[in-house]
Structure 1
Amino acid sequence: MSRPLRVTIIGAGIGGLSAAVALRKIGADVTVVERAPELRAAGAGICMWPNGAQALHALGIANPLEMVSPILHRVCYRDQHGRVIREMSIDKLTELVGQRPFPLARSDLQAALLSRLDPALVRLGGACVSVEQDANGVRAVLDDGTEIASDLLVGADGIRSVVRNHVTGGTDRLRYHYTTWLGLVSFGLNLTPPDTFTFHVQDSKRVGLLNVGDDRLYFFFDAVPSGEANPDGVRAELRHHFDGWCSEVTTLVEALDEAKTNRLPVHDLDPLASFVNGRIVLIGDAAHATTPTLGQGGALAMEDSLVLARHLAESTDYGSALASYDNERLMRTRQVVLASRARTAATLGIDNTSAQTWQKQLTDDASQDFLEQLVDIHRAGPLAAWPHDRQEGVAT
């Protein structure tokens, strides 16, 4: 076509902003529609394992993030009393794949993505309520009656996606697995070494502690609660679930800011048959929401964005490009979602048989199951062959 490809992106999370960056790089005219009145990073922290870190480079945002992202050397599992169960070297993972992981505050990741975009491209305070398409184009209909016309529409509107209904017809299914409480506290509380991703695990519960730089410690508590949230608040609920745990965990419970600690049910999405319907394409959680147990939600969304941009750049026919994207991403994301689901069932004791196997692996000095899964995920990804001596932003 003589004019640039026009793309509307619904959602300004990691996937939506990554798609905007990647599509702008191939010359597309992009509009991002976000229902929130202001941009706030969803969640608190994230660990971009090597495949995700490669995507940061491909999007041209790794260099500034390198300055704030601490270097991880190990993963440490401890029991509820703080005793070491198992330590694993992340240096070996880095050596095998040629890329270190990036632990980050989500606000830093969001800021890096926004730095690559003209703010005028992001339209805030407009919720997409429906999508209409025909042979001439696609239109996003907003809650104020505004219609935004474009050639393609990208659904990046998260796990409860409105756009997804226009691809699946509402046949998709979410599965609940557990509840997480997460946020940030001062790293100065000294709850974990600065180079260690620490997990406290016991009785089908888990606490994660990760240094994300600038005196910020990302934390999460995971459990499968019975009943509704405690009306007395987050601290009361966590005191109940983690009563008698070690001083690191109890100190965290007392130090956290209840107003800034999110309580979220963790779901994933049963694999879809397709991410595409005509001029509509899904990315990120809208397409393949996954549990965070393998740390792949943000990474997969960024991979989606880069793969979509690549296929659109390589084809003059959007239909062929979207079909190629669909074919490439369906199997990749299905494997990761189901692997993460299985690991969630094992590590939180949701499935007794797999939980017993995982607990045995955890105490087996020869087992590197978590890091081995990350190596496999990286090597099967779209950026695995990208040269290590790359320049920022050249993957597409």
Structure 2
Amino acid sequence: MRRSFAGMQDVTGLIIGGGIAGLTAAVALQQRGIAVKVCEAAPRILPLGAGIWMAPNAMQVFQRLGLAEKINAAGVPLRNIQIVDGQLRPIMRTNQARVRQQFGFTTTAIKRARLQALLLAEIDPANVLLGKAFTSLTDAPDGVAVQFADGSSSSAGFVVAADGVHSPVRGQLFPQVRFAGTGHEVWRGMSEMQLAPAFKQSIMEAWAQGLRFGFSEVADGVVDWFVVVKAGSIASRHDLKARLQAVFQDFADPVPAILAAAEEARIIHNDITDFDPIPSWSRGKVCLIGDAAHAATPYMGQGGCQAVEDAYALAQCLHQEPTPERAFAALQRLRRPKATQIVRLSRLLGRVGYWTGAAGAARNALIRAAPERLLEQQFAQVYSLNY
């Protein structure tokens, strides 16, 4: 039976954005009996992007949705997560066996496209509308009227904006958002190669010379990797692979081998940015989730995970509250403190990771000296769910 709000029967919500946040929200709402349609701007959902890490907090959500086993089977559950130096000597490591014991899961590395396909398979294709680029919305007597670039429009009892860091919906509702650049950019890719046993089922992120190189398997024989460099230091895509190889030539194996195996045409570029917390994630019957609400820099690997948490908590609140407005207020009370903390911690970790010279050496020594249990307690706060 479909959930009704404020006396309206068969109310359908619209989700703007068909990424991880929007699709997870659609699955969670569908399982609660709340009818929604996903509106995706792209004419087709293509297998784009590189890999993504689903940490134990996200995996617990997927378990509640009945998807954890499928995601683990399609990806690589990790046994080791380390920050290392340029010679791959450990700076920080966490005991993933204890993480699994406490939360039931470790982090799973998976191709973003594979995760998206698993979520899509849970949704009635009739409820996924492609080629629907959002242009504007207005209040309507029974909800919200949404206009799209193809000239069509749709009315809904509520709207969920899951349209990313540069959210057009947020741009209309909260145009005063201030973006915070980091001065760095990321290049990402996937390389077909077999890692040595010591590096399999592991995430390693190397910090050295003000640079970062991270990698992990996302499938047997497929390595997802990213590099972080100063913005503008690689000014064009001309000879991109060779440039990246030159920048990271002094890093220990398998870093050079991973770059050598990369397919240059499939290397993708992303700016690294976040924005200052906004005072509200909703206005009326419209709510923001994921990066649209609280984009964080990628240094904690929590962007997608926090979106997954939002999606599940949103469905819970809409199921429990009598109106969308009250549900969205409940969602913000439930999720905003943690999401805001992730934004701040990611900023801090981003700055610290670029230190070089004496400051970088002191950072490494301090982290190495920190008790492993203390580090695990910090992660436990991120992995715990409060709903």
Please give the TM-score of this superposition, normalised by the length of structure 2.
0.91
Q: Secondary structure at the match of 1:272?
A: coil
Q: Please state how far the C-alpha of 1:182 moved relative to its aligned partner.
A: 0.9
Shifted more, 225-234 versus 181-190: the winner is: 225-234
What pairs with 1:311-326 in structure 2 (closer than 5 Å)? 311-326=317-332
The one-character-per-residue Cα deviations of 1:338-389 (angstroms, maximum 9, x if unpaired) are 1111111111239x97x6664233332635665433211122x335xxxxxx
Is the Cα–Cα contact under 8 Å of residues 44 and 182 in structure 1 kept in the other structure?
Answer: yes
Q: Are residue 223 (structure 1) and residue 232 (structure 2) matched? A: no
Moved more, 330-339 or 129-138: 129-138
1:277 is matched with: 283
Change (3 A) 1:76 1:228: closer
CA distance in 2, matches of 1:230, 1:240: 15
Per the alignment, residue 386 of structure 1 pairs with none
Q: Distance in 2 between matches of 1:191 and 1:231?
A: 33
User: What is the rounded CA distance, in whole Å, between the counterparts of 2:83 and 2:198 in structure 1?
Assistant: 11
Equivalent residue for 1:133? 139
> Structure 1 residue aligned with 2:126, among 112, 120, 123?
120
1:361 alignment counterpart: 366
The sequence identity of aligned pairs, in percent, is: 29
* Structure-to-structure mapping, 1:331-346, within 5 angstroms: 331-346=337-352
Partner SS state of residue 200, structure 2? coil
Deviations 1:315-336 (A, max 9, x none): 2222211211122222221111
The 3 A distance-change label for structure 1 pair 42 and 283 is farther
Residue 243 of structure 2, aligned match among 229, 232, 237 = 237
One-letter amino acid of the counterpart of residue 17, structure 1: L
Is 1:23 aligned to residue 48 of structure 2?
A: no
Contact persistence 2:94–2:372 (CA under 8 A)? no
Give the structure 1 partner of residue 96 of structure 2: 90
Which residue of the partner structure matches residue 382 of structure 1? Answer: 386
1:174 to 2:179 alignment: yes
Distance 1:137 1:86 in 2: 50
Match of 2:39 in 1: 33
Q: Could you say if the C-alpha distance between residues 185 and 344 of structure 1 is closer, same or farther in structure 2, counting changes exceeding 3 Å?
A: same
In the alignment, what sits opposite 1:348? 354
User: Which deviates more from structure 2 when the two are superposed, residues 144-153 or residues 22-31?
Assistant: 22-31
Distance in 1 of aligned mates of 2:216 and 2:52: 9
Cα distance in 2 for partners of 1:220, 1:108 equals 18
Q: Which amino acid aligns with 1:166?
A: Q
Is residue 187–residue 211 contact of structure 1 (8 Å, CA) maintained in 2?
Answer: no
Between Structure 1 and Structure 2, how many residues are aligned? Answer: 380
Q: In structure 2, how many angstroms separate the alpha carbons of the residues matched to 1:58 and 1:357?
A: 42
Within 5 A, what are the aligned runs for 1:191-340? 193-227=199-233, 229-340=235-346
Contact 1:267 1:290 in 2 (8 A): yes
Q: TM-score, normalised by structure 1?
A: 0.89
Deviation of 1:310 (Å): 0.9
- State the shift of 1:229 in Å: 2.1
Q: 1:34–1:128: structure 2 CA closer, same or farther, 3 Å change rule?
A: same
Contact 1:7/1:152, CA 8 A, preserved across alignment: yes
2:300 maps to a residue whose letter is L
1:51 aligns with 2:57: yes
1:196 Cα deviation after fit: 1.9
Q: Kindly tell me: are residues 39 and 244 of structure 1, through their superposed partners in 2, closer, same or farther at Cα, counting changes over 3 Å?
A: same
For 1:277, the aligned partner's letter is R
1:375–1:204 Cα change, 3 Å: same
The corresponding residue for 2:168 is: 162
3-state SS, counterpart of residue 342 of structure 1: helix
Give CA deviations for 1:248-281 in whole Å, capped at 9, x if unaligned.
2222222101111111111112111000001110
C-alpha displacement at 1:60, in angstroms? 2.2
The aligned counterpart of 2:377 is 372
Show the counterpart of 1:143.
149
1:195 Cα shift? Answer: 2.4
Aligned residue identity for 2:70: P
SS, match of residue 145 in structure 1: coil
Change (3 A) 1:86 1:156: closer
Contact 1:192-1:210 within 8 A present in 2 as well: no
Letter matched to residue 259 of structure 2: V
Residue 311 of structure 1: CA displacement? 1.1
Structure 1 329/83 Cα, relative in aligned 2: closer, same or farther at 3 Å? closer
Distance of 2:372 and 2:105 partners within structure 1: 22
More displaced 10-residue stretch of structure 1: 282-291 or 133-142 = 133-142
Cα deviation code 1:215-246 (max 9, x no counterpart): 22111111224456235242133134223222
1:164 aligned counterpart, secondary structure: helix
Aligned letter for 2:161? G
- Cα distance, 1:297–1:151 mapped onto 2, change above 3 Å: same
Secondary structure class of the residue paired with 2:74: coil
